[in-house]
Amino acid sequence: MTSPQSVVDLSSNAEENVAHAAKVVGRGEGRRSVFAAIYDGKQKIKSAKEIAKKTGLTEKRVLLEGKDLTDNHIAISAKVNGYKAYQKIDFYHRRKKQILDLAASKAKLSAFPTKRNPVTKSAKAERIKIDVRIPRKKHAARHITVDDIDNFQKVASEGSHPYVKMAESTFKNGVARILGERGIFKDWGGESRDLSSTRLKIGNKRKIAAFAFKGPGKTGKLTPGKMGVNGDQIQRLVKCPAEVFIVQYWADIEDSVLEQLKDFVTLKSYLEDKELWYGIINGNDSARLIAAYPMQFSNKQK
């Protein structure tokens, strides 16, 4: 199982995020028990079936309550052997007891000081709640494909192509050439991304992009567990200071990869309050790129 990594520094706004989690968890027995089960013990990821057995709830009820937790970024959606599962976020794991205590008491939550809800005391030591509303833009995580990237515009004329088993380094260097990057990008097992570029354009505007590439060293469908030594490459990719996050593979990509990428980018977008983009390049789109830009992917290039 992968180790959960927070894609942004949640502790920089700790009180606000703890209060948010407490409000989402609430006082309802079902959601409280699902949240407690997800964050119980050292196990990083638990399936809905495991949680149902632990809580005594039906699996359908667990999925319903779990969706509210993942939709509100209190847990990460995952899969275990093809079944729906939930992954901890370290920040909330360390504050599980505090969140449950606040969620159980409306008075405690009301008195809990945050940037939006500062609490002071009068001369009579009575608590005074100051309601400060800070406008927040709606966060956005946009899904894109190769056809949405201006730099890859030639791919629009390419239809479906057979998969091409191209070395990861060759494909990576080809993408770098298309983007106009001229550096040398060597692989390292602990890296957070395989390629970084400030030249990628969406809607004719330059964006900072981070790519993760997987070559024919991997076989079968790409799953999150095949990404990185610890299966945590998606988390590490999204931690990069970028705006666009792309995962590429020479063959089929499991839906769970896109789902996890979406979850982490959405959480990052929400907490950083800015628009971000994410997408995958599967075997067909990889072959389309190679066909559209044959010279850039040629081994004769230096």
115: Cβ contacts below 8 Å, ≥ 6 apart: 13, 15, 16, 132, 134
Q: Is the pLDDT of residue 133 over 60?
A: no
* CA distances to 38, 105, 157, 170, 229 from 69, in Å: 10, 19, 42, 41, 28
The pair of structure tokens assigned to 15 is 């009180």
Chosen CATH of 10-129 out of 1.10.10.10, 3.60.15.10, 3.30.1330.120, 3.90.1820.10: 1.10.10.10
* CA distances to 76, 122, 148, 154 from 284, in Å: 28, 66, 16, 15
Measured CA to CA, the distance from residue 29 to residue 280 in angstroms comes to: 38
Cβ-based neighbour number of residue 233 at 10 Å: 22
Looking at per-residue pLDDT, the higher value among 130 and 261 belongs to: 261
Q: Is the pLDDT of residue 249 over 50?
A: yes
One-letter identity of residue 9: D
Percent of the chain with pLDDT over 90: 69
Q: Is the pLDDT of residue 231 over 90?
A: no
Mean pLDDT of 85-89: 94
Q: Which helix (H) or strand (E) holds 67?
A: helix 59-71
Dihedrals φ, ψ of 136, to 5°? -135, 125
Closest CA relative to residue 198, chosen from 210, 187, 185, 212: 210
The distance from CA 48 to its chain's CA centroid, rounded to whole angstroms, is: 20
Measured CA to CA, the distance from residue 154 to residue 89 in angstroms comes to: 40
Query: Pairing state of beta strands 83-87 and 45-47?
Result: antiparallel
Q: Is the pLDDT of residue 3 over 50?
A: no
Quick one: pLDDT at residue 301? 59
Query: Pairing state of beta strands 76-80 and 83-87?
Result: antiparallel
Going by pLDDT thresholds of 50, 70 and 90, the confidence category of residue 192 is confident
- For the stretch 6-17, pLDDT in tens is 445 576 678 889
List the single range of 50-54, 73-77, 209-213, 298-302 with lowest mean pLDDT.
298-302
- Total-model pTM: 0.61
Going by pLDDT thresholds of 50, 70 and 90, the confidence category of residue 185 is low
Quick one: pLDDT at residue 184? 61
Measured CA to CA, the distance from residue 113 to residue 110 in angstroms comes to: 8
List the single range of 31-35, 85-89, 139-143, 161-165 with lowest mean pLDDT.
139-143
Domains of the chain by residue range: 10-129, 140-292
Dihedrals φ, ψ of 184, to 5°? -105, 125
- For the stretch 140-184, pLDDT in tens is 899 999 999 999 999 999 999 999 999 999 999 999 999 999 866
The chain-wide mean pLDDT, for the chain, equals 86
- Cβ-contact 44, 88 below 8 angstroms: yes
User: Which residue is associated with the tokens 């990628």?
Assistant: 200
Going by pLDDT thresholds of 50, 70 and 90, the confidence category of residue 114 is confident
Quick one: pLDDT at residue 256? 92
Measured CA to CA, the distance from residue 211 to residue 174 in angstroms comes to: 13
Q: Is the pLDDT of residue 135 over 80?
A: no
Quick one: pLDDT at residue 126? 41
Q: Is the pLDDT of residue 286 over 90?
A: yes
Going by pLDDT thresholds of 50, 70 and 90, the confidence category of residue 228 is confident
Mean pLDDT of 254-273: 91
Measured CA to CA, the distance from residue 164 to residue 67 in angstroms comes to: 37
Residue 112, SS3?
Answer: coil
What DSSP assignment string belongs to 129-175? E---PPP-PPPEEEE--GGG-GGGGGGGG----------HHHHHHHH
